[in-house]
A and B are shown apart, each in its own frame.
Chain A
């Protein structure tokens, strides 16, 4: 059932929240051993929250737009008193002393937190195989990856363990796993959703967003978690926000100008490409004008990203030093303690990115690597802004392939990084983008179409996503 339907049933008194939560816990009981979507399942807490929702319904109160909906949270989103590990040994068992703003907003909307989901360690990865606690498996085919880094959140929604989930997206970590698991995944405009309480990976790129069964559910969840937050200084002021997304979904795409990005489409697998063509045809049939568009600098997004994101990460992850929280491995002096703690606590991919970022920022290399990448970021931003003068939204695959076998790319970091080629540009520009399930590839696994829009272009992006979804029915 969709989050919309669950919340409507609970608010009207047709179903009790406890019964909704129990049915999801049963689904978890039945298949979580195979899928491994969660680091923590909050059984007792979820039932307690459900009872509170039921009490409010019985008292004639409105428990909120997500009343009784079980929501899964990526394990890099802080929950007060509840373990938040980032799937890392260095934070194993850490219980944050505060809730992230998105968690507070979900609670106020009547949502029930059902668990914390598995992820690539510190959100660094594209398959959820970099978790210290073992990989998440794709619910559609257990021999395949769920994508990443929000693979646990995508799998939890696809497997029916949760009515909706939150992930974080720094280079595609919501959209790519959504694509591979056949669910909707949204990276909002940078600054639309508060990052307060999101464990930082690359702060100029990170953004929290929803993973859901339908486009309307994504609009519902984004409406709850979005909006200005004084606790995040990069949060966009309320006055710049646009109309409610849930009210404009049916407006259609008649007259919209839609560009298919050549640079992000050419290298996709043929079966994925066929779905992009089908999506373009469906939108044309619905009244949009669809053409190919060239955004040459987009091809350089991957290279710029893999200098900028590790550089920011090397700084952000300096805080894991064995002093204030998490793992400590003792040493004779403080420097030895730092190095032993970090070496024992971080996995290989996190070490690689810290090293890459430290190198890119180090004396003598700063301008050649980090400085140059920042200027390339400007070129990419300019080219996308120019494209949006001609087009309302852009299209591409969300991932160049469907889900790949577990273990297929773990020994080749560069091959893994290439899985993010379609999604990275929107993080560099700060623009919104989302993945919408659009049929299946030759292997029978889900394909996601990416819809990209200019800054704060969520309304038109959601209209196009809703039209794509409707065209399949």
Chain B
């Protein structure tokens, strides 16, 4: 298992997860997440060499259906719940920044 989780690890993971944390949250999460990971380290004692991973409890093959046109969600009902819309579409802040 990896070494003890650091404050920098927490900041890095927060950026990956698109979370802005206060200094107090960073401190608190560093200790709490390290404690959970240390508890989880008990599974390292198990020999899993040659054991395949289980991602899912059912032995599923691909599930296919006929590609037929059918009704989908009502557009007005969906857009009614969006924070911002324009011309029947979702509207978001600039992605690439403003023109100079």
Q: Which residues of A contact B (CB under 8 A)?
A: 94-95, 97-98, 190-191, 204, 230, 233-234, 236, 297, 300, 302-304, 306-307, 314, 318, 321-328, 330-340, 342-343, 346, 348, 351-352, 354-356, 358-359, 362, 364-365, 368-369, 371-379, 381, 413-414, 417, 428-431, 455
CB distance from A317 to the nearest CB of B (A): 9
CB distance from A13 to the nearest CB of B (A): 37
Q: A303-B43, A306-B36, A328-B83 are in contact. Are A359 and B48 (CB under 8 A)?
A: no
Please list 19 pairs of residues, one from A and one from B, whose beta carbons are closer than 8 Å in the complex, sorted by A's number. Answer: A98-B73, A204-B57, A300-B42, A303-B39, A324-B81, A325-B82, A328-B84, A332-B93, A332-B94, A334-B95, A336-B93, A342-B18, A351-B19, A352-B32, A355-B17, A377-B54, A413-B35, A414-B35, A430-B57
Q: A95-B81, A325-B81, A355-B33 are in contact. Are A331 and B93 (CB under 8 A)?
A: yes
Which of A95, A324, A336 lies at the interface centre, i.e. has the most chain B CB atoms within 10 A of its CB?
A: A324
Whether the pair B17, A314 counts as a contact (CB closer than 8 A) is yes
- Chain B residue at minimal CB-CB distance from A365: B2
Whether the pair B94, A333 counts as a contact (CB closer than 8 A) is yes
Query: Which A residues are CB-close (under 8 A) to B41?
Result: 303
Whether the pair A97, B17 counts as a contact (CB closer than 8 A) is no
- Bound together, the chains give a CA A355 to CA B17 distance in angstroms of 7
Extra pairs beyond A355-B19, A358-B16, A429-B57 (18, CB < 8 Å): A95-B81, A97-B74, A97-B77, A97-B81, A190-B58, A322-B83, A334-B94, A339-B20, A342-B18, A354-B17, A355-B33, A359-B13, A362-B16, A371-B53, A373-B40, A375-B52, A381-B57, A417-B36
For the complex, would chain A's binding face be called helix, strand, loop or mixed by DSSP majority? helix
Q: Which residues of B contact A (CB under 8 A)?
A: 1-2, 5, 9-10, 13-14, 16-21, 25, 29, 32-33, 35-37, 39-44, 46, 48, 51-58, 60, 63, 65, 73-74, 77-78, 80-84, 90, 92-95, 97
B36 is contacted by which of A336, A340, A356, A368 (Cβ under 8 Å)? A356
CB distance from A332 to the nearest CB of B (A): 7
Q: A97-B73, A334-B92, A359-B5 are in contact. Are A339 and B55 (CB under 8 A)?
A: no
Q: Which 5 A-B pairs have the closest CB atoms?
A: A430-B57, A374-B53, A328-B83, A375-B48, A233-B63
A-B pairs with CB below 8 Å: how many? Answer: 169
- Bound together, the chains give a CA A230 to CA B43 distance in angstroms of 37
Whether the pair A372, B19 counts as a contact (CB closer than 8 A) is no
- Bound together, the chains give a CA A430 to CA B58 distance in angstroms of 7
Query: Which A residues are CB-close (under 8 A) to B55?
Result: 204, 374
Query: Which B residues are CB-close (under 8 A) to A352?
Result: 29, 32-33
- Chain B residue at minimal CB-CB distance from A205: B57
Query: Which B residues are CB-close (under 8 A) to A98?
Result: 73
Query: Which A residues are CB-close (under 8 A) to B44?
Result: 372
